[in-house]
Amino acid sequence: MPEPTLRVIQWSVGNIGRQSLRGVIAHPRMALVGIYVGSPDKAGRDAGDLCGLSDTGIIATSAIDDILSLDADCVLYMRQACDYDEVCALLASGKNVVTTRSEFHHPSTMDPVILARIEAACVSGGTSIYSTGSSPGFVTEALVLPLLSLQRRLDCLTIDEFADVSRRDSPAMIFDVMGFGAAPGPMDGAKLAHVRDSFLASLNQIADAIGLPFDATSVEGEVAVVTRDTPIAAGVLKAGTVAAQRITIIGLHDGKPVLRFRAHWYCATELDRDWTLCETGWHVSVAGDTPMEVAITFPVAMEDYAAVMPGYTAHRAVNAVAAVCAAQPGIRTTIDLPQVVATF
């Protein structure tokens, strides 16, 4: 018997949401039934027009009540900031939620008041919610679980994430937002907190599952400066200014590091620090009784990054819809869901 067609709503069409929307429209076992947009200039437009495909007959709306009234199995919630009132309303209306927001990776460390609201909405609607994506998500959960399945002693698992942004032609992002080209100094506390909050919940989920819950955590931000004037796509990095940043999150069990995530963002490699900077991608190393290393890179030309990279986050969310719709009500995690399997 063929699998039933799942009725899906796309919520937001930024870089990630646009790619998600394309995935839903093309999916053989999904039917797009609605699309929510936050900006007035997108409301009233066909979903296909919003993502570069042919018209679908599904028209975007910025009225939440229009979305709540739809008969749908799941909402792909890809808002830039999580609105818990919206999420609760969606769940209570009988719609499961798959989101690329990172707030739901580890329910036990959520704010107790918010947790209770979400759980009550899931019970009311008989629905589930799941946070996923490429990072956090795939690389911090789905990838590390099979690697750990080969161990009987874990000393430490380290995930290194690398992003070479030297050819990103966006001066505002590179210099103003990310802080490259500035004089070296302590890393902004808000930036550290954002990265910590985005990844720590995901690492906590794995630590609990493998029986090594964290008794302490730490986050550290470091910068390195370029040793000579270096032209990049966004401008010129002057010698002695910030050209690389590294943020390290560590979870400890019995006072020893067991899980570590390090984000490396860089615009140059001739630095005053002896950092190993790999090409854009991930490097996962497992120290234990069966040690191993896994490197993942993206064989994509830099000029194609804008078109291709959002798929690494969006597609896992789209592929998780069926598993989440079949799950028991509540906040679901990678640990308690079945493996996410893509259908082509």
Give me the count of residues in the chain. 344
Determine the Cα angle at 211 with ends 208 and 215, to 5°: 65
Q: Which amino acid is at 316?
A: R
Cα distances (angstroms) measured from residue 195 to each of 28, 51, 191, 247: 36, 29, 6, 8
Contact (CB, 8 A) for 10 and 35:
yes
pTM (predicted TM-score):
0.94
Provide CB contacts within 8 A for 173, sequence distance 6+.
234
What span, in angstroms and rounded, lies between the C-alpha atoms of 309 and 277?
Answer: 20
What tens-digit pLDDT sequence spans the chain (344 residues)?
567 899 999 999 999 999 999 999 999 999 999 999 998 899 999 999 999 999 999 999 999 999 999 999 999 999 999 999 999 999 999 999 999 999 999 999 999 999 999 999 999 999 999 999 999 999 999 999 999 999 999 999 999 999 999 988 889 999 999 999 999 999 989 889 989 998 999 999 999 999 999 999 999 999 999 999 999 999 999 999 999 999 999 999 999 999 999 999 999 999 999 999 999 999 999 999 999 999 999 999 878 888 899 999 999 999 999 999 999 999 999 999 999 999 99
Q: What is the DSSP letter of 173?
A: I
Cα distances (angstroms) measured from residue 66 to each of 9, 22, 25, 150, 214: 11, 21, 20, 49, 43
- Condensed to tens digits (0 to 9), the pLDDT of residues 87-116 reads 999 999 999 999 999 999 999 999 999 999
What span, in angstroms and rounded, lies between the C-alpha atoms of 157 and 143?
Answer: 12
- Condensed to tens digits (0 to 9), the pLDDT of residues 174-230 reads 999 999 999 999 998 988 998 999 899 999 999 999 999 999 999 999 999 999 999
Answer positive or negative: Cα dihedral of 144, 147, 152, 154: negative
What is the end-to-end Cα distance of the chain in Å, rounded? 17
What is the model's pLDDT at position 341? 95
> What is the β-pairing status of strands 330-332 and 30-36?
unpaired
* Partners of residue 217 on adjacent β-strands: 251
275: phi then psi, degrees, rounded to nearest 5? -95, 140
Domains in the chain, start-ordered, CATH in brackets?
A: 6-134+309-332 (3.40.50.720), 151-289 (no CATH)
Other C-beta atoms lying within 10 Å of the C-beta of residue 155? 13
Nearest to 289 by CA among 143, 155, 145, 158: 155
Query: And the tokens for 19?
Result: 């790619």
Cα distances (angstroms) measured from residue 344 to each of 25, 26, 312, 318: 12, 9, 16, 12
What span, in angstroms and rounded, lies between the C-alpha atoms of 223 and 183?
Answer: 10
